[in-house]
Amino acid sequence: MSTVAVVKKFINAPDDVVPEALSGMALAHPGLIRVDAENQNVIRADAPVKGKVALISGGGSGHEPMHGGFVGRGMLDAACCGAVFTSPVPDQMAAAGSAVDGGAGIVHIVKNYTGDVLNFKMAAEMAEDEGVNVESVVMDDDVAVKDSLYTAGRRGVGGTVLAEKICGAAAAQGKSLAEVTELCQRVNGQVRSMGMALTPCITPGAGTPSFELGDDEMEIGIGIHGEPGRERLPLEPAAKIVERLTTPIVEDLPFSEGDKVLAFVNGMGGTPLIELYIVYNELNKLLQGRGITIDRNLIGNYITSLEMAGCSITLLKLDDELTALWDAPVDTIALRWS
Amino acid sequence: MSTVAVVKKFINAPDDVVPEALSGMALAHPGLIRVDAENQNVIRADAPVKGKVALISGGGSGHEPMHGGFVGRGMLDAACCGAVFTSPVPDQMAAAGSAVDGGAGIVHIVKNYTGDVLNFKMAAEMAEDEGVNVESVVMDDDVAVKDSLYTAGRRGVGGTVLAEKICGAAAAQGKSLAEVTELCQRVNGQVRSMGMALTPCITPGAGTPSFELGDDEMEIGIGIHGEPGRERLPLEPAAKIVERLTTPIVEDLPFSEGDKVLAFVNGMGGTPLIELYIVYNELNKLLQGRGITIDRNLIGNYITSLEMAGCSITLLKLDDELTALWDAPVDTIALRWS
């Protein structure tokens, strides 16, 4: 038997996965983005935009289209891509800052994972030393666990997609650094998420599943790197799974009768779209029963864990301002409307 | 041991998969589509559009977002959804025709699978009996095999997505029934595809894999229901796999030096986006080496086989007319630009 596991993936070599994927992205979408290959950053094609607050996010790769697929008009100015499931580094983030700084300051939107938080903090200090104003907002919308394998406090998950869209729209409309920062904090305050997995995933480097799940088991409250959740249970019907995810979300904020929400049903990568619509159908029933109205929705694979089968549910409490910012034009690889 | 296999899917009951998913789609996208639940048809929200040629497609479910995700302004008027991997029926197709007929005739865009072809033919005859003009175009772009498990002749695969977009644009611009039909035939004449699988998929009803593949094997030339392809081989690097798919495509038409193409890299459902961009990167290199220019591209999961890991490559030879029709506005669940 070979000592090298056969990984059933489209790769040439594990170390080349991220650089080659970024090369493909750059070739495919020259009107939207450019790639700084040396720093592994995806940059908005026309950056820097003078006078506009710049938005930067990033994290480990393997969660595509997050974050590189959200770079473009009306959303992010740059995404810093780490190796698969590995934080990007401060120098890389600082380079992204230099590439997109339009003179109005920079907001770092950071998912709450210890590596990301520390590295974005160092990058912010480097930028401040150069006289650039940087604000950071740490997203921590995952209600599943208090602390996890890679995180002190709650993890940042699906809410980050919504924050990037909404804050990107505000920045495009000329809001100030303080206003965009406050808005991002407000989104984080009003958004809650929880995920689950039916299967593990395999990173190109490891070649073996990130964890083991029995043939009839599922993991409720899983993190986006396969880190443990709340509980491992026998598989259940879709309606019951949706209830297990939604009840903790609704009761955490809490979301109340009369609330309008944006409901985001996210696939972890390996779940067919047809199943995500079944999840949405159940979610709609459940929220209707609580007097909560879904006013906007997003359904698809947006923050993934490679080919993991599973889903997450994110609810954002809407008001007129957030709704208008959600509806505002966006032109990125993964989200596009006018 | 239970006689019922545990299927790791978000379902309530196998028979409810398609109706519940369609219910979710209808709830999520009321501005774009409506669902005729009785007939399992997805209908453009504002259909019928008076004076416009209507486009209808359909097929088994499990290939989402195809075809329901392509219903809307600038693309399909209706999609007829069969059970998973099962043809829709003539009555259902006839009902779709009645719902979308705007008086200018109907084009059926049919993937070449025996059941689909027979049933769409019967539906066309039913419509003709009612005095509605129906033209049918059978797509057969798959170069992998001459005849397959479910098909006499070549199968219809990824080229169908491109035909639906391009013909949808032509219909939106007021082209006649004869013109849209001729255009669809022309697209079919200029488009070639081939797919491959790294893993099988599991239908909700069967609960077991559609076929077996060894831990280090892949199937080249697979069909979108897991039907056998050209050959089963040991796994290879991405560059080699892309060559195995692309060379037969290029040599079949043939595509020649100086040609401009639309390159469509499609995920079979369970392959992460990061890998599809690696495939695109390799495809770009390979075509560049042959003097063929990628002028437009589409990368993502558009014609899937549930959660199968794998991809297909489709190349369409472009001219100015096809390029302009591809670029024309479209507003559907899965494709959206202006």
Looking at the structure, do residues A163 and A220 belong to the same domain, yes or no?
A: no
Distance CA B28, CA B22 (A): 10
Closest CA to A253 of A311, A188, A302: A188
Q: Which two tokens stand for residue A261?
A: 């929400």
pLDDT at B5: 52
pLDDT at A228: 87
Rounded to a whole number, what is the distance in angstroms from the first to the last CA of chain B?
54
CB-CB under 8 Å, A276 with B65: no
Q: For residues A213 and A276, is the Cβ–Cβ distance under 8 A? A: no
CB-CB under 8 Å, B280 with A304: no
A187–B contact, CB cutoff 8 A: no
Set of chain B residues whose Cβ sits within 8 Å of the Cβ of A218: 8
Distance CA A331, CA A82 (A): 23
**Domain tally, chain A:** 2
- Which residues, in sequence order, are bridge partners of residue A66? none
CB-CB under 8 Å, A307 with B235: no
ipTM exceeding 0.85, yes/no = yes
**pLDDT tens-digit readout, B208-258:** 888 899 999 999 999 999 888 999 999 999 999 999 999 999 999 999 999
CB-CB under 8 Å, B13 with A237: yes
Tell me the backbone φ, ψ of residue A296, rounded to 5 degrees.
-140, 155
CB-CB under 8 Å, B62 with A278: no
- The shortest C-alpha distance from A145 to chain B (Å) reads 23
Looking at the structure, do residues B156 and B214 belong to the same domain, yes or no?
A: no
Which contiguous run of DSSP H or E holds residue A220?
strand A217-220
CB-CB under 8 Å, A239 with B309: no
Listed by number, the residues of chain B in 21-40 with a beta carbon closer than 8 Å to a beta carbon of chain A are: 21-25, 27-28
Set of chain B residues whose Cβ sits within 8 Å of the Cβ of A27: 280-281, 284, 294
A2 domain-assigned = no
Report DSSP state, residue A5: P
Set of chain A residues whose Cβ sits within 8 Å of the Cβ of B284: 24, 27
Consecutive 10-residue averages of pLDDT for chain A (338 residues): 65 97 98 98 98 98 98 98 97 98 98 96 96 97 87 94 98 98 98 97 90 93 91 96 98 98 98 98 98 98 97 98 98 97
List, by residue number, the catalytic residues of B: 63, 225
Can you say whether the dihedral through the CA atoms of B108, A334, A269, B229 is positive or negative?
A: positive
Q: Which two tokens stand for residue A6?
A: 């056969």
Overall size of chain B counted in residues: 338
Report DSSP state, residue A213: -
Set of chain B residues whose Cβ sits within 8 Å of the Cβ of A21: 274-275, 277-278, 281
Distance CA A231, CA A217 (A): 10
- The shortest C-alpha distance from B69 to chain A (Å) reads 10
Q: For residues B17 and B2, is the Cβ–Cβ distance under 8 A? A: no
Closest CA to A32 of A334, A303, A325: A334
Task: With cut-offs at 50, 70 and 90, classify the pLDDT of residue B94.
Answer: very high
Query: Where in the sequence is the domain holding B241, given as residue range(s)?
Result: 191-337
Tell me the backbone φ, ψ of residue B177, rounded to 5 degrees.
-55, -45
Set of chain A residues whose Cβ sits within 8 Å of the Cβ of B20: 238, 277-278, 281
Residue B6 has pLDDT above 70, yes or no: no
Q: For residues A274 and B21, is the Cβ–Cβ distance under 8 A? A: yes
B13 domain-assigned = no
**pLDDT tens-digit readout, B173-211:** 999 999 999 999 999 999 999 999 999 999 999 888 888
Where a domain ends, among B145, B168, B189? Answer: B189
B3 domain-assigned = no
pLDDT at B207: 86
CB-CB under 8 Å, B235 with A309: no
- The shortest C-alpha distance from A224 to chain B (Å) reads 14
A35 domain-assigned = yes
Q: Which of B20, B242, B264, B273 to mutate to test the interface with A (most CBs of A within 10 A)?
A: B273
Distance CA A338, CA A209 (A): 40
Task: Please report the DSSP string for B194-244 in residue order.
Answer: EEEESS--B-TTT-SBSS---TTEEEET--TTS---SEEEE---HHHHHHH
Distance CA A52, CA A326 (A): 18
Token pair 């600038």 in the structure block, residue: B74
Distances B81 to A171, B17, B123, B126, B224 between C-alpha atoms, Å: 42, 12, 14, 19, 16
Token pair 């169908």 in the structure block, residue: B160
DSSP E strands, B85-168: 106-111, 134-139
Looking at the structure, do residues A177 and A210 belong to the same domain, yes or no?
A: no
Distances A282 to A24, A52, A256, B138 between C-alpha atoms, Å: 37, 41, 18, 37
The region, left, alpha or beta by phi > 0 then psi within -120 to 50, assigned to residue A207 is left
Runs of H (alpha helix) within B38-190: 90-100, 114-129, 159-172, 177-190
pLDDT at A5: 52
**pLDDT tens-digit readout, B273-314:** 999 999 999 999 999 999 999 999 999 999 999 999 999 999
Set of chain A residues whose Cβ sits within 8 Å of the Cβ of B23: 277, 281
Tell me whether strands A293-300 and A260-267 are parallel, antiparallel or unpaired. Answer: parallel
Looking at the structure, do residues A232 and A168 belong to the same domain, yes or no?
A: no
Among chain A residues, the shortest Cα distance to B196 is held by A10
Distances B189 to B114, B193, B299, B325 between C-alpha atoms, Å: 20, 12, 22, 16
Axis crossing angle, helix B114-129 with helix B90-100, rounded to the nearest 10? 50
Among chain A residues, the shortest Cα distance to B12 is held by A237
B5 domain-assigned = no
Overall size of chain A counted in residues: 338
Count of beta carbons in the 10 Å neighbourhood of residue B252: 15
Listed by number, the residues of chain B in 272-311 with a beta carbon closer than 8 Å to a beta carbon of chain A are: 272-281, 284, 294, 297, 299, 301, 304, 306-307, 309, 311
**pLDDT tens-digit readout, B62-78:** 999 999 999 999 999 99
pLDDT at A1: 37
Task: With cut-offs at 50, 70 and 90, classify the pLDDT of residue B1.
Answer: very low
| Cβ density class B295-310: b for 16+ within 10 Å, e for less | ebbbbbbbbbbbbbbb
Q: For residues B301 and B199, is the Cβ–Cβ distance under 8 A? A: no
DSSP E strands, chain A: 33-36, 41-44, 54-61, 78-84, 106-111, 134-139, 191-197, 217-220, 231-234, 260-267, 293-300, 310-317, 330-331, 336-337
Nearest to A269 among B239, B272, B279 (CB): B272
Nearest to B273 among A23, A65, A218 (CB): A65
Residue B44 has pLDDT above 90, yes or no: yes
pLDDT at A2: 40
A11 domain-assigned = no
pLDDT at A6: 65
Looking at the structure, do residues B128 and B154 belong to the same domain, yes or no?
A: yes
Q: Which two tokens stand for residue B202?
A: 């599991």
Looking at the structure, do residues A196 and A184 belong to the same domain, yes or no?
A: no
pLDDT at A3: 42
Q: Which of A2, A8, A9, A10 to mutate to test the interface with B (most CBs of B within 10 A)?
A: A10
Give residue B164's Cα distance to chain centre: 9
Where a domain ends, among A189, A216, A233? Answer: A189
List, by residue number, the catalytic residues of A: 63, 225
Looking at the structure, do residues A22 and A170 belong to the same domain, yes or no?
A: yes
Listed by number, the residues of chain B in 95-134 with a beta carbon closer than 8 Å to a beta carbon of chain A are: none
Looking at the structure, do residues B214 and B174 belong to the same domain, yes or no?
A: no
A4–B contact, CB cutoff 8 A: no
Share of residues in chain B with pLDDT > 70 (%)? 98
Set of chain B residues whose Cβ sits within 8 Å of the Cβ of A10: 198, 238, 241, 271, 275-276, 278-279, 311
A338–B contact, CB cutoff 8 A: yes
A12 domain-assigned = no
Closest CA to A156 of A172, A169, A137: A137
Looking at the structure, do residues A82 and A92 belong to the same domain, yes or no?
A: yes
Nearest to B12 among A215, A237, A311 (CB): A237
Q: What integer best gives the mean pLDDT of chain B?
A: 96
Q: Which two tokens stand for residue A154?
A: 């709650």
Distance CA A215, CA A108 (A): 40
The CATH number covering residue B85 comes to 3.40.50.10440
Looking at the structure, do residues B175 and B239 belong to the same domain, yes or no?
A: no
Give residue B30's Cα distance to chain centre: 23
The CATH number covering residue A250 comes to 3.30.1180.20
Closest CA to A265 of A247, A240, A284: A284
Among chain A residues, the shortest Cα distance to B18 is held by A274
SS3 of residue B173 by DSSP: coil
Rounded to two decimals, the pTM is 0.97
Looking at the structure, do residues B269 and B137 belong to the same domain, yes or no?
A: no
Set of chain A residues whose Cβ sits within 8 Å of the Cβ of B245: none
Count of beta carbons in the 10 Å neighbourhood of residue A2: 6
pLDDT at A148: 78
Where a domain ends, among A138, A164, A189? Answer: A189
Looking at the structure, do residues B197 and B318 belong to the same domain, yes or no?
A: yes
Closest CA to B10 of A65, A232, A197, A213: A197
Set of chain A residues whose Cβ sits within 8 Å of the Cβ of B338: 338
Distance CA A175, CA A190 (A): 20
Q: Which two tokens stand for residue A77?
A: 């100015």
CB-CB under 8 Å, A13 with B237: yes
A253–B contact, CB cutoff 8 A: no
- Which residues, in sequence order, are bridge partners of residue A264? A298, A314
A250 domain-assigned = yes
**pLDDT tens-digit readout, B102-159:** 999 999 999 999 999 999 999 999 999 999 999 999 999 999 988 877 788 999 999 9
SS3 of residue B86 by DSSP: coil
